Every structure is written in structure tokens, then in C-alpha cells.
């Protein structure tokens, strides 16, 4: 194991997979000579050349479409979005083509590609650069959607994504790039999709989250521990497919659940998790499944207002008091 940053874990996954398979290539805005907005692709242009690390114009629908076409003939493109908010421009390519080609050709064509980049609020990037896109993508059949929290999962899940024969939406929170953690140095280490991770066991309440909000739940669990309340914290990490077996098992044990997500409360992916818990664990629940989410407003630029729009431990604690 090596202790490295989330950013370096992603870069290591790219290097290992590009060394393993010459059909893996990268494309996106400023990923080559500039080395990526968050420096994930630092040094890769020099290592692999411009045919495998391709700088693109500012045309998300264009280069996403090119990547889909390349994937259909056997290449394994990894597309970096400068921010996943910009991927909105390529929704038609992703929703109508990447997600549906395999189905519409009766399995004759595959689209083995990854679309990765920062999703969520960084620090004062304002409304158009701070959106959490997870719910939009997790709504679409034919896509796989993951949002790793730890550097270990960042590496393992990106390797799984690159090897997958389906289009994968890979969501990285911009505030996690500098986070450090232990990461396997095994070049064949992968983290499978569809399996949640129980980070902290507990008996009184289940806290469910993914990406940056996992840390918020861990902080809340520590606060609850000081009050004599035992909270179980689960990192969802794989949204599509979703591991309901682990989630349901935890809720049947604790009898209470709080789902935390950074995106807008209205129609967020946490609502899907809450609905499934209500359907599968109704007889075990001692209170309603509670959602703690971002406010239904465009993200403000002012830092004090930005912080007010995102879930905080005190918001979770307030919700927990209602069901305990």
C-alpha cells in the first residue's frame, strides 16, 4: 500500500490501464499540454504522445460523439470533462447514443468508454460550475454511474470503469483531489461496481452517502458517538448499479435511515435510495426515511451563501433528532 492523493490515484489508474491495453486513450479539454484542470493527466502527454492523450476544442458534443464512435469500433476512450456541468452540452450524445447503441443494435455493438470529471461544488465556482449531475445520469438505462470517495476506490473503480464494456459516468468531487489515503500498488487491483462499503458499523441509525458527503456523515457519526448514539455509515459509491442488499441489511438492523447527498433535494438520487428503503424495509422502520440534501437554488458565488446551500453535520443531526 502507498499513501497518495485522490488525484494521484486516478493518474495511477490511467497509467496502469494505458500500459495494459494500447486501445485505452484519453481525450478532453486541456488534458495534454496543460495537464488537466485538476492535474489528473499530468505528464501523460509526454509519456504516451498526442495520439493517445488528445487535446480537444471546447466542443463537448463533438468530442463526446467522436469518443462514442471510437468505442463502437473497439477503442476504449476515457473522456475528461473540465467540469461535469459541461457534460450537459453532450446529453444527446450520452443519453441517446452511448447509453442506447448496445440495446438498439441487439448487442452487436458495445460502447466501452468512460466519461469522468469533477461533479459538485468546489470553492466559489458559482452556479454553472458547481452542479451535481449524479441524478441525471443515474436515471438513464444503459449507463453505469459511480462516485468514489476514497483514493483507494478512485483507483480501483476507474480501472473497473476502463475495463467495462459499458459506458461509465465517473464522478469525482473537486474537493477530494487533494485528499490522501492508502492505495493498493497491485496493478490488477480493481473495485467492483454494485457493491457499497460499510465504513463504520453501528446499531442505532444508518447514514447513507456517496462522494464528498461520506465525510460529512463520518463527522456526524463521531458527533453522535459522543452523545451515546451508534451510527452506521455506508459509502454508496456505486449508484448504477446500486447495492440495495447492503443498504437493506443495515436498515433492518438499525431501523432508521438518513440519506445525504449534495445535489438538489428535489428529484435527487437520494430520493431514489429513500424510496427503495421504504419499499423494501417498511416493516423494519421505526421512523420515516429522511433526506438531507442541497438547497433547491442555483449555487451562489459568495462563500458564506455557498456553504449554506450544502449539507452540513448540523443539518444531519437536526434530521436525526426527528426520528430518534
Q: Which residues are catalytic?
A: 60, 129
Q: Residue 37, CB half-sphere, CA atoms under 13 Å: how many?
A: 14
Q: How many CB atoms lie within 10 A of CB 226?
A: 7
d(CA 218, CA 188): 29
* Nearby residues of 198 by Cβ (< 8 Å), 6 or more positions away: 232, 233, 234, 235, 246, 250
C-alpha torsion angle, residues 180, 185, 190, 194 (rounded to 10)? -30
Sign of the Cα torsion 60, 23, 98, 13 reads negative
**Which segments within the chain are labelled E, that is strand?**
2-5, 24-28, 53-55, 76-80, 114-118, 144-146, 168-172, 180-183, 197-200, 205-209, 231-235, 238-240, 257-264, 290-294
Give, in degrees to the nearest 5, the angle at Cα 269 between 317 and 107: 155
* Nearby residues of 43 by Cβ (< 8 Å), 6 or more positions away: 11, 35
Sign of the Cα torsion 27, 28, 33, 34 reads negative
Q: Residue 170, CB half-sphere, CA atoms under 13 Å: how many?
A: 29
Amino acid at each position: 500500500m502507498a499513501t497518495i492523493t485522490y488525484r494521484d490515484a486516478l493518474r495511477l489508474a490511467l497509467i496502469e490501464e494505458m500500459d495494459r491495453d494500447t486501445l485505452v486513450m484519453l481525450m478532453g479539454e486541456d488534458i495534454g499540454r496543460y495537464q488537466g484542470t485538476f492535474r489528473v493527466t499530468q505528464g501523460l502527454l509526454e509519456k504516451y504522445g498526442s495520439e493517445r492523450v488528445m487535446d480537444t476544442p471546447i466542443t463537448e458534443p463533438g468530442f463526446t460523439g467522436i469518443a462514442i464512435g471510437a468505442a463502437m469500433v473497439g477503442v476504449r476512450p476515457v473522456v475528461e470533462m473540465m467540469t461535469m456541468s459541461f457534460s450537459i452540452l453532450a446529453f444527446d450524445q450520452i443519453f441517446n447514443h452511448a447509453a442506447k447503441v448496445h440495446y438498439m443494435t441487439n448487442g452487436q455493438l458495445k460502447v466501452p468508454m468512460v466519461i469522468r470529471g469533477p461533479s459538485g461544488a468546489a470553492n466559489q465556482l458559482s452556479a454553472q460550475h458547481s452542479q451535481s449531475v449524479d441524478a441525471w445520469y443515474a436515471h438513464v438505462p444503459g449507463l453505469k454511474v459511480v462516485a468514489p470517495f476514497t483514493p483507494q476506490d478512485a483507483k480501483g473503480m476507474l480501472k473497473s470503469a476502463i475495463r467495462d464494456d459499458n459506458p461509465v459516468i465517473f464522478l469525482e468531487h473537486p474537493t477530494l483531489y487533494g485528499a490522501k489515503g492508502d492505495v493498493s500498488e497491485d496493478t490488477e487491483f480493481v473495485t467492483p461496481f454494485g457493491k457499497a462499503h460499510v465504513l463504520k458499523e453501528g446499531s442505532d441509525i444508518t447514514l447513507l452517502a456517496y462522494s464528498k458527503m461520506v465525510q460529512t456523515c463520518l463527522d456526524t457519526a463521531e458527533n453522535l458517538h459522543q452523545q451515546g448514539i451508534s451510527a452506521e455509515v455506508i459509502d454508496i459509491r456505486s449508484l448504477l448499479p446500486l447495492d440495495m442488499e447492503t443498504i437493506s441489511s443495515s436498515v433492518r438492523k438499525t431501523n432508521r435511515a438518513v440519506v445525504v447527498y449534495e445535489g438538489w433535494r428535489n428529484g435527487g438520487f437520494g430520493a431514489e435510495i429513500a424510496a427503495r428503503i421504504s419499499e423494501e424495509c417498511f416493516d423494519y422502520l421505526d421512523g420515516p426515511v429522511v433526506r438531507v440534501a442541497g438547497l433547491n437554488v442555483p449555487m451562489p458565488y459568495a462563500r458564506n451563501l455557498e456553504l449554506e446551500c450544502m449539507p452540513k453535520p448540523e443539518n444531519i443531526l437536526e434530521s436525526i433528532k426527528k426520528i430518534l
